[in-house]
C-alpha cells in the first residue's frame, strides 16, 4: 500500500469527532507535497517540502482566526484525490485515527493566547508536535484557546479563583 503524508487542518469540532468516532468523515481538504509545491521550492529537500506543506495548512487556519491544529496523516493513496488545478491542496476521502501520525499545534493553542499569531505573516508559524495518545489533552488546549479567542477565560485558571 502506498501512502501520502498530508496535513489536515482541523477545527475544534473535527478534532472532537476524531476523538469520539476515531474517524473523520470526508472528504477533507489537506496539504501535501504536490508538484506545485515542488515547483515553488525547487531546491528544497523532502523535509523542507513537508515543512512548507505544514505552513500552508497552518497559515490558512491562522488567517481564518481559528486555533491552529493540524493532523499529520498517512493516507492510503487510493483515498487521495488531487484537484484538476493543483494548488497544493488535496482531498482525502476519510481519516481514521490510526492513520494520524501526529498532531501539530500552533503557539496560539499551546499558550492559550490567540494573539500570538496576530502577526504571523512576518514569520513561519511555530508548530509543536503531539502524539495521538495525547488527543484528550489537545482537545482541552483547543477548547481553552477557543474560549480565550472569545474573551472568556477558562474557569479553572488560578487567577479566576477568589482570594480572601
pLDDT of residue 156: 41
- Please choose, from the candidates 34, 27, 29, 23, the residue with its C-alpha nearest in 3D space to the C-alpha of residue 9: 29
pTM of the model: 0.86
> Residue 162: inside a domain, yes or no?
no
C-alpha separations of 83 from 16, 36, 91 in Å = 27, 12, 8
Tally of domains within the chain:
1
Domain membership of residue 44 (yes or no) is yes
Percent of the chain with pLDDT over 70: 88
Q: Is residue 38 in a domain?
A: yes
* Domain hosting residue 8, numbered range: 3-151
Percent above pLDDT 90 for the chain: 68
**Residue 161 falls inside a structural domain:** no
pLDDT digits (tens, 9 = 90+) for 39-79: 999 999 999 999 999 999 999 999 888 999 999 999 999 99
Mean pLDDT score across all residues of the chain? 86
In this prediction, residue 116 carries a pLDDT of 84
Residue 120 clears pLDDT 80, i.e. is over it: no
Q: Tell me, rounded to whole angstroms, the distance of Cα 106 from its chain centroid.
A: 8
Amino acid at each position: 500500500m502506498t501512502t501520502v503524508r498530508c496535513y489536515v487542518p482541523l477545527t475544534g469540532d473535527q478534532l472532537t469527532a476524531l476523538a469520539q468516532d476515531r474517524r473523520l468523515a470526508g472528504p477533507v481538504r489537506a496539504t501535501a507535497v504536490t508538484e506545485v509545491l515542488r515547483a515553488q521550492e525547487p531546491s528544497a529537500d523532502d523535509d523542507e517540502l513537508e515543512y512548507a506543506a505544514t505552513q500552508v495548512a497552518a497559515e490558512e487556519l491562522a488567517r481564518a482566526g481559528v486555533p491552529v491544529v493540524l493532523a499529520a496523516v498517512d493516507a492510503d493513496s487510493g483515498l487521495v484525490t488531487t484537484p484538476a488545478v493543483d494548488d497544493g491542496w488535496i482531498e482525502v476521502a476519510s481519516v481514521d485515527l490510526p492513520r494520524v501520525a501526529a498532531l501539530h499545534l500552533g503557539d496560539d493553542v499551546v499558550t492559550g493566547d490567540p494573539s500570538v499569531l496576530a502577526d504571523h505573516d512576518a514569520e513561519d508559524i511555530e508548530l509543536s508536535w503531539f502524539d495521538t495518545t495525547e488527543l484528550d489533552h489537545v482537545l482541552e488546549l483547543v477548547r481553552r484557546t477557543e474560549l480565550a479567542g472569545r474573551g472568556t477565560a477558562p474557569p479553572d485558571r488560578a487567577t479566576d479563583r477568589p482570594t480572601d
